[in-house]
C-alpha cells in the first residue's frame, strides 16, 4: 500500500507526526550534546585552575627559604585537599617534584615539559568505580619548566549527564505519542471545512439545484473550491432547467397536432360520410402526421446533438451540386407559394456554373441546414417574393447564403431566434406552421462545422442567413474529423461580417 492510497486524514496525521517526532529527536540530541560540551568545558576550566594553583605554589616555594623537600611541602598543602588527590609534577630533567599517593599507586607516566603540547593534553581513565579526567600542561616558573598533571573525578558530571539522557529517552516516546495525537487533531481541524462542505453538498439534489454552498470569507483554497463547485452547480442547474423546458415545450408542441388529429377523427365519426369526405379527412390526417414526423425528427436530432451521440463526419462535399439538388427539390414548393427560387454563384470569375465547389462538410447535415433555411425563407416571404441560394467562393472559404425578400426579423430578435422553441412574437407568424426548433438545429450543425450562422435582416427588408465553410481543392483531400470548436476560419468570418 503506497502513501497515496491512504486517506488524506491518515496521510496528514503521519506527516504531522513525522514532523513533530523529528523536531523532538533533534531537540533531545542537541540539548544532550550541549550539556555534555558544557560539562567538558567546566571540567577543563577546573583542571586549568588547579594547574595555575600549582604554578603559584612553585613560585612561592622558590622565593621562600625552606629546608623541607618539595614532596613534603606539597603534601602539607594538598594532602587533605580534593584537588591534591590526583596530582603529579615532573621537572625538566625528569625528576619527580611531587606525586600524590593515588598517582604513585597508579604509577601514571608523565612526559617531560618540552614534549607536552602548548595547550596541554587531556586523558580519561577509570580507577575502580571512578572515571578520572586528567589534564597535563607544561608550566614555567622562574626559568625552570615543569610538567604538571592534575586529575578530577567526573562521576558527578557523568551521573548528571546520564540522568538527563534517561529523562530524554522517557520523554521522547511521550512526545512521539503527543505528536500522533496532535497530528490527528490538526488534520481533523484542517479537513473540517471540507467535511462541512461535503455535508452541505450532500443536501443538494435535483430537487433543490438552486441552492449553493457557503463560500468562507477567507480567500483560500477552500473558498476557491466552494466557488468552483458553485459554478458547477449553476451549470448543472441550467442544464436541468433547459432539459425540463425542452420536455415541456416538446410536449406542448406535440399536443397541438394531436388535438387536431382527434378533432378531425371526432368530426368524421359524428355521422356516416361519403367516400370523398373520408378521403378528405384522411388527407388532413396525413398532413398532420407528416408535420408530427418532421417535429419528432427535429426533436430527436436536437436530443442527439445535446448528448453528442451523433458525431458529424466531415468529408469533401461538392456544395454547388448540393445547391442544385436543393434547388430542384424546393422549386415546386416555391412555385406553389408563388415565389421565385434562384441559385447564384459569386466570387470565382473563371469558374463556370458547372464547376464543382468542394468544401469540408457532413453532407446530410449540410442538406438539413439548407432545408431549414429554405423552409423559413419560403414560409416568411409573401407571395411574389424571391428566395436566393448563393455560393460565394473566396481564396480559402465558400460562403453559403440563403437570402429572401420576406418580412425580415427585428434586430433585437436576431439572437433569440436561434434559441429552441423561440418564434418571433406577434400575429405575423401565427398563421405559419413551425415549432421554433429549426434554427437551433441549424446553429448546432454550423457549430459542428467550426462555424456560426450569420444573420443580416431588418423588418420588411428580407433576411440573409450565411455560413462560411472551409474550402478544399478537390474531393481527394484527406480531412480531419468534425471541428468541435469554432475554427480560425469562422472567427475571421465573424469579424468580417460583424
Ligand atoms: P420555425 O420556423 O419552426 O418557427 P425556426 O427556429 O426555424 O422555427 O425559426 C425561429 C423563428 O425565426 C421563426 O418562427 C421566425 O419568427 C423567425 N425566422 C426564421 N427565419 C426567418 C426568415 N427567413 N424571415 C423571417 N423570420 C424568420
- Pocket flag, ligand 1, residue 437 (CB < 6 Å): yes
Task: Tell me the domains of the chain and their CATH numbers.
Answer: 3-161 (3.30.450), 221-305 (1.10.287.130), 313-497 (3.30.565.10)
Residue located nearest, by CA, to atom 19 of ligand 1:
376
Question: Ligand 1 centre from 487 Cα, in Å?
Answer: 26
Question: Ligand 1 centre from 453 Cα, in Å?
Answer: 13
**pLDDT (tens digit per residue) in 53-105:** 999 988 887 655 555 677 888 888 887 787 788 999 998 888 888 888 888 88
pLDDT at residue 491, rounded to an integer: 35
Q: Report the DSSP beta bridge partners of residue 387.
A: 341, 404
Q: Report the DSSP beta bridge partners of residue 96.
A: 90
Specify the DSSP class assigned to residue 376: H
Q: Is 425 left (phi over 0), alpha (psi -120 to 50) or beta?
A: beta
- Pocket flag, ligand 1, residue 112 (CB < 6 Å): no
pLDDT at residue 104, rounded to an integer: 86
- Pocket flag, ligand 1, residue 443 (CB < 6 Å): no
Query: Using CB atoms within 10 A of its CB, is residue 146 exposed (0-12), middle (13-18) or buried (19+)?
Result: buried
Query: Using CB atoms within 10 A of its CB, is residue 398 exposed (0-12), middle (13-18) or buried (19+)?
Result: buried
Question: Ligand 1 centre from 246 Cα, in Å?
Answer: 18
Q: Radius of gyration over alpha carbons of the chain, in Å?
A: 52
pLDDT at residue 349, rounded to an integer: 60
Q: Which residues of the chain have pLDDT under 50?
A: 427-430, 482-498
pLDDT at residue 489, rounded to an integer: 34
Residue located nearest, by CA, to atom 14 of ligand 1:
423
DSSP SS3 for 140: strand
Testing ligand 1's pocket by substitution, the residue of 294, 368, 376, 444 carrying the most ligand atoms inside 8 A of its CB is: 376
Testing ligand 1's pocket by substitution, the residue of 257, 439, 440, 453 carrying the most ligand atoms inside 8 A of its CB is: 439
Amino acid at each position: 500500500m503506497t502513501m497515496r492510497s491512504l486517506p488524506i486524514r491518515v496521510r496528514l496525521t503521519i506527516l504531522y507526526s513525522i514532523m513533530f517526532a523529528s523536531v523532538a529527536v533533534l531537540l533531545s540530541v542537541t540539548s544532550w550534546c550541549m550539556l555534555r560540551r558544557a560539562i567538558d568545558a567546566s571540567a577543563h576550566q577546573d583542571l586549568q585552575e588547579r594547574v595555575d594553583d600549582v604554578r603559584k605554589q612553585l613560585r612561592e616555594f622558590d622565593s621562600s627559604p625552606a629546608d623541607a623537600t618539595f614532596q613534603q611541602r606539597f603534601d602539607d598543602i594538598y594532602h587533605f585537599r580534593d584537588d591534591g588527590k590526583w596530582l603529579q609534577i615532573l621537572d625538566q630533567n625528569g625528576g619527580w617534584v611531587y606525586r600524590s599517593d593515588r598517582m604513585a599507586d597508579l604509577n601514571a607516566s608523565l612526559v617531560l615539559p618540552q614534549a607536552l603540547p602548548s595547550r596541554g593534553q587531556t586523558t580519561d581513565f577509570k580507577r575502580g568505580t571512578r572515571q578520572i579526567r586528567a589534564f597535563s600542561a607544561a608550566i614555567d616558573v622562574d626559568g625552570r619548566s615543569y610538567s604538571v598533571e592534575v586529575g578530577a573525578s567526573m562521576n558527578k558530571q557523568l551521573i548528571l549527564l546520564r540522568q538527563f539522557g534517561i529523562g530524554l529517552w522517557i520523554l521522547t516516546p511521550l512526545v512521539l505519542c503527543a505528536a500522533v495525537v496532535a497530528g490527528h487533531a490538526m488534520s481533523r481541524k484542517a479537513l473540517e471545512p471540507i467535511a462541512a462542505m461535503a455535508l452541505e453538498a450532500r443536501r443538494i439534489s435535483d430537487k433543490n439545484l438552486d441552492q449553493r454552498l457557503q463560500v468562507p470569507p477567507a480567500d483560500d483554497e477552500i473558498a476557491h473550491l466552494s466557488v468552483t463547485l458553485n459554478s458547477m452547480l449553476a451549470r448543472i442547474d441550467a442544464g436541468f432547467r433547459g432539459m425540463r423546458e425542452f420536455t415541456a415545450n416538446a410536449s406542448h408542441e406535440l399536443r397541438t397536432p394531436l388535438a387536431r388529429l382527434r378533432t378531425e377523427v371526432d368530426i368524421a365519426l359524428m355521422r356516416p360520410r361519403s367516400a370523398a369526405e373520408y378521403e378528405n379527412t384522411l388527407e388532413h390526417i396525413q398532413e398532420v402526421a407528416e408535420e408530427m414526423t418532421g417535429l419528432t425528427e427535429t426533436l430527436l436530432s436536437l436530443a442527439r446533438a445535446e448528448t453528442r451521440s451523433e458525431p458529424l463526419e466531415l468529408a469533401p462535399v461538392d456544395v454547388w451540386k448540393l445547391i442544385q439538388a436543393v434547388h430542384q427539390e424546393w422549386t415546386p414548393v416555391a412555385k406553389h407559394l408563388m415565389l421565385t427560387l434562384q441559385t447564384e454563384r459569386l466570387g470565382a470569375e473563371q469558374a463556370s456554373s458547372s464547376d464543382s465547389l468542394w468544401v469540408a462538410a457532413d453532407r446530410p447535415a449540410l442538406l438539413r441546414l439548407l432545408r431549414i433555411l429554405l423552409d423559413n425563407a419560403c414560409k416568411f416571404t409573401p407571395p411574389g417574393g424571391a428566395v436566393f441560394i448563393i455560393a460565394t467562393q473566396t481564396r480559402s472559404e465558400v460562403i453559403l447564403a440563403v437570402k429572401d425578400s420576406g418580412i425580415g426579423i427585428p434586430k433585437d430578435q436576431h439572437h433569440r431566434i436561434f434559441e429552441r422553441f423561440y418564434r418571433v412574437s406577434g400575429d405575423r407568424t401565427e398563421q405559419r406552421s413551425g415549432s421554433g426548433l429549426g434554427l437551433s438545429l441549424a446553429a448546432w450543425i454550423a457549430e459542428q462545422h467550426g462555424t456560426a450562422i450569420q444573420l443580416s435582416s431588418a423588418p420588411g427588408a428580407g433576411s440573409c442567413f450565411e455560413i462560411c465553410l472551409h474550402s478544399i481543392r478537390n474531393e481527394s483531400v484527406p480531412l480531419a474529423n468534425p471541428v468541435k470548436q469554432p475554427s480560425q476560419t469562422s472567427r475571421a468570418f465573424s469579424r468580417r461580417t460583424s
